[in-house]
């Protein structure tokens, strides 16, 4: 993929395909439209055109038709003067809370295909919305909006009026919470005295056990316990527990030892909330339960999670993603389960075009299987755009 150069003709083709889309489709615009900053990247262009504000909707739709940008963004923040050149002059008024779940940052995702990557992201997304946003944070469903990014992930916008003015520091706390950062185990587990000895009229603890919170306790306390019990069950029920442990990142030799230690009696004790296990077992469970229940999230330019960035640009819903040709689409929460980008957001035409494909490629799009060999191919425009966008083909 490294040395592949997208030809001038290909860029023209992409631009033309995008123009047709913008001419024939209406774009729904974000709320507080006039207070948002817009930004664009053009086909074959260098860098990003920023600090654009549109007073009227028609100005933006005309702009899209005329310029047919490769990528279209708007700001999660709203400003007094969205088109001012510096942030100070813009005068920040507030910003939605944005969660960016993309497969980029999910370990091992690189090796997987597009469809599998999206599946993993979806799983993370359910954790984010169900466990955290709705349950812990108690946000009303009507304030939660979900978008397919057009690429390899999903965005979630929280629009609860109370959170709009949170600064980036405060947003970081929310991210730390959701990603499970800095959990203090001494706050999760507490020591409980199981027996006392009396000596010279005073009592001293004679036995101690480490007590795990009950699964229904609020916040991370309950969450960790639930996670631990789930993992124990998984391991015990598994036909090949060693393999299962390896999936959790335990080395072969350690897995054997761990399993030996995890006697029936111990399992019962864990389920009763007593975690007076060896240190290794405890560590293993704590770390695994944390990873299992926390959400992994994308980082921005300076490795800051994007949620903390109160001036972030995000893709405009309804616009097209320049690397896939897919539409950035709003998804109803209850529709997420069945959402399939390769079916639902392929919006470009199916006119046939000829491309030169760099390597063999298989994909199912719009219900049709494509098993393509390298070399010259005649393909529907939507697939051609996808392949050119991913630097796998050029137009001929």
Partner 1 sequence: MVELSTLSKYSFLNASKNYVKDNGLSVEELLDDPLYERARTTGIERLDNAFNNRDAGNRSLATESDCIMELLSYPIARMIAVCIEDVYFKRRYALGEAVHAYKNLINEPTSFLFDISKEFNLDVKYSGDTNKIRIYFVDYLRNAPTRYKEWKMINRGLKNGYIQISHRDLARIIQEALRTRINEELDSKSCNKAIYKTFSSDIKRIQNIVLIHRKNIEAAPIGKLDITKLPPCMKTILASIQAGENVPHMGRFALVSFLNSLKLNSNEILKLFSSAPDFEEERTRYQIEHIAGRTSSTSYTPPGCEKMRTYGICPVDKTDDLCKKKRHPLSYYKAKWSQEKNKK
Question: Residues with catalytic annotation?
Answer: 100, 102, 303
Instruction: By CB under 8 A, tell whether 139 contacts partner 1.
Output: yes
Q: Out of 108, 260, 301, 338, which residue is the one contacting partner 1 (CB under 8 A)?
A: 301
User: Are 188 and 224 a contacting pair, CB within 8 Å?
Assistant: yes
Would you call 167 exposed, middle or buried from its count of C-beta atoms within 10 A (0-12, 13-18, 19+)? exposed
The answer to whether the beta carbons of residues 54 and 38 sit under 8 Å apart is: yes
Identify the burial level of 288 via C-beta atoms within 10 angstroms of its C-beta, where 0-12 means exposed, 13-18 middle and 19 or more buried: buried
Cβ-contact 248, 258 below 8 angstroms? no
Q: Please state the closest distance from residue 355 (CB atom) to partner 1, in A.
A: 36
At residue 338's C-alpha, the angle toward residues 334 and 342, to 5°, is 135
Please tell me whether residue 130 binds partner 1 under the rule CB under 8 A: no
Applying CB under 8 A, among 87, 112, 281, 336 the residue interacting with partner 1 is: 87
Handedness of CA 117, 119, 123, 128 (dihedral sign): positive
Contact positions with partner 1 (CB under 8 A) in 327-386: none
Q: Which tokens is 52 given?
A: 């654009």
Helices (H), 25-90: 57-67, 87-90
Scanning 53-189, the segments in alpha helix (DSSP H) are: 57-67, 87-90, 114-126, 168-179, 185-188
Site for partner 1 contains 29 (CB under 8 A):
no
Q: Please, which residue, 311 or 390, has the CB nearer to partner 1?
A: 311
Q: Which is nearer to partner 1, 103 or 221 (CB)?
A: 221
Q: Is 142 a binder of partner 1 (CB under 8 A)?
A: no
**Can you tell me the distance from the alpha carbon of 70 to that of 328, in angstroms, rounded to the nearest whole number?**
13
Q: Angle formed by the axes of helices 8-24 and 381-389, to 10°?
A: 130
Q: Which two tokens stand for residue 176?
A: 């730390």
Where does this chain touch partner 1 (CB under 8 A) — which range of 52-60, 103-111, 250-258, 296-304? 296-304
Applying CB under 8 A, among 62, 135, 280, 287 the residue interacting with partner 1 is 135
Query: What are the phi and psi torsion angles at 301 (to 5°)?
Result: -60, -35
The interface mask with partner 1, positions 47-86, x = CB under 8 A, is ---------------------------------------x
Q: Is 88 in the site for partner 1 (CB under 8 A)?
A: yes
- Shortest distance, CB of residue 50 to partner 1, whole angstroms? 9
Does 311 bind partner 1 (CB under 8 A)? Our answer is: yes
Based on the shown chain and the rule CB under 8 A, indicate whether residue 182 belongs to the binding site for partner 1: yes
Q: Is 176 in the site for partner 1 (CB under 8 A)?
A: yes
Contact 101, 121 (CB under 8 A): yes
Residue 217 sits in the site that holds partner 1 (CB under 8 A): yes
Q: Minimum distance between the CB of residue 138 and partner 1, rounded to whole angstroms?
A: 3
219 contacts partner 1 (rule: CB under 8 A): yes
In the bound state with partner 1, the residue whose beta carbon lies nearer, of 130 and 167, is 167
Interface pattern 150-169 for partner 1 (x via CB under 8 A): ------------xx--xxxx
Give the helix ranges, DSSP H, for 159-218: 168-179, 185-188
131 lies in the site for partner 1, by CB under 8 A = no
Answer yes or no whether residue 230 interacts with partner 1 by CB under 8 A: no
- Contacts with partner 1 by CB under 8 A lie at 86-88, 135-139, 162-163, 166-170, 172-174, 176-177, 180-184, 187, 217-221, 301-304, 311
């Amino acid at each position: 993929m490294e040395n592949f150069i997208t030809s001038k003709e290909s860029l023209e083709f992409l631009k033309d395909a995008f123009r047709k889309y913008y001419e024939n489709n209406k774009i729904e615009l974000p709320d507080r439209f006039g207070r948002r900053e817009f930004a664009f990247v053009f086909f074959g262009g260098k860098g990003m055109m920023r600090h654009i504000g549109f007073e009227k909707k028609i100005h933006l739709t005309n702009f899209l038709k005329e310029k047919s940008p490769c990528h279209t963004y708007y700001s999660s923040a709203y400003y007094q003067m969205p088109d001012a050149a510096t942030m100070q002059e813009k005068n920040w008024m507030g910003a939605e809370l944005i969660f960016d779940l993309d497969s980029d940052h999910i370990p091992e995702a690189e090796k997987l295909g597009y469809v599998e990557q999206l599946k993993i992201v979806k799983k993370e997304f359910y954790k984010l919305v169900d466990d955290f946003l709705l349950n812990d944070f108690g946000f009303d469903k009507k304030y939660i909006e979900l978008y397919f990014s057009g690429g390899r992930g999903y965005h979630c916008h929280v629009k609860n009026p109370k959170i709009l003015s949170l600064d980036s520091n405060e947003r970081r706390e929310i991210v730390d919470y959701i990603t499970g950062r800095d959990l203090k185990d001494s706050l999760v587990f507490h020591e409980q005295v199981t027996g006392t000895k009396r000596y010279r009229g005073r009592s001293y603890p004679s036995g101690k056990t480490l007590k795990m919170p009950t699964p229904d306790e609020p916040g991370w306390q309950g969450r960790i316990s639930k996670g631990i019990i789930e993992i124990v069950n998984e391991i015990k029920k598994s036909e090949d527990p060693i393999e299962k442990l390896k999936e959790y990142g335990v080395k072969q030799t350690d897995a054997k030892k761990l399993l030996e230690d995890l006697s029936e009696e111990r399992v019962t004790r864990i389920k009763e909330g007593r975690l007076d296990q060896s240190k290794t077992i405890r560590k293993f469970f704590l770390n695994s339960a944390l990873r299992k229940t926390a959400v992994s999230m994308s980082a921005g330019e300076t490795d800051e999670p994007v949620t903390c960035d109160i001036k972030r640009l995000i893709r405009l819903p309804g616009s097209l993603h320049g690397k896939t040709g897919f539409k950035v689409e709003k998804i109803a929460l209850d529709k997420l389960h069945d959402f399939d980008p390769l079916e639902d957001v392929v919006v470009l035409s199916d006119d046939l075009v000829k491309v030169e494909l760099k390597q063999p490629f298989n994909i199912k799009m719009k219900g049709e299987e494509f098993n393509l060999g390298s070399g010259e191919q005649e393909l529907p425009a939507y697939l051609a755009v996808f392949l050119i966008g991913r630097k796998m083909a050029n137009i001929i």
